[in-house]
Amino acid sequence: MITKHKVDFSKKLTDTELEMFEQAKQKQVIFDDDCRELTDDELKKFKRVSNNELRERQNENITLSLPYNSLQKAKVLGESYRVVLSTILENVLNDNELIKRYL
C-alpha cells in the first residue's frame, strides 16, 4: 500500500510526521520490475555532488530592511512569506530587463 503525505521541511516536523518516518524506516524494501535493486556496477556510476554544486543549492541568511508597508503586505501571504519573498527576489535577479528597470 502506498501512502502519500506532503511534508513542509521548512517547518518543524510534527509528532505525527516523525512517527510516519519511524514507521517507514521499519518497512522492508520490496524490489520488483519497476523498482529493481541496483547492481554494484550501477551504484559505482553515482557521483558525489561537488562542494560547488552543493553551495549553489544552499541558502545564506542575510539581514534586509524593508519598508513597513511592504513587510505587512508580504506577511499577509502567510507563514511562508519569507519563501515567497526569496522566490520573488531570485526571479527578479534572473531577469536582466527587470533589473535594468529598477537601477
What are the pLDDT digits (tens) for 67-82? Answer: 999 999 999 988 889 9
Is residue 74 within 8 Å of 84, Cβ to Cβ? yes
Please report the pLDDT score of residue 51 as a whole number.
67
Q: Using 50, 70 and 90 to split pLDDT, how confident is the model at 6?
A: confident
The answer, yes or no, to whether residue 24 has pLDDT greater than 90, is no
| Domain boundaries, given as residue ranges, for the chain | 15-102
CB 75 within 8 A of CB 83: no
The sign of the CA dihedral 91, 73, 101, 99 is negative
* pTM over the 0.75 mark: no
Q: Is 83:9 a contact under the CB 8 Å cutoff?
A: no
What percentage of the chain has pLDDT greater than the value 70? 92
Query: Which residue, chain included where needed, has cell 553551495?
Result: 55
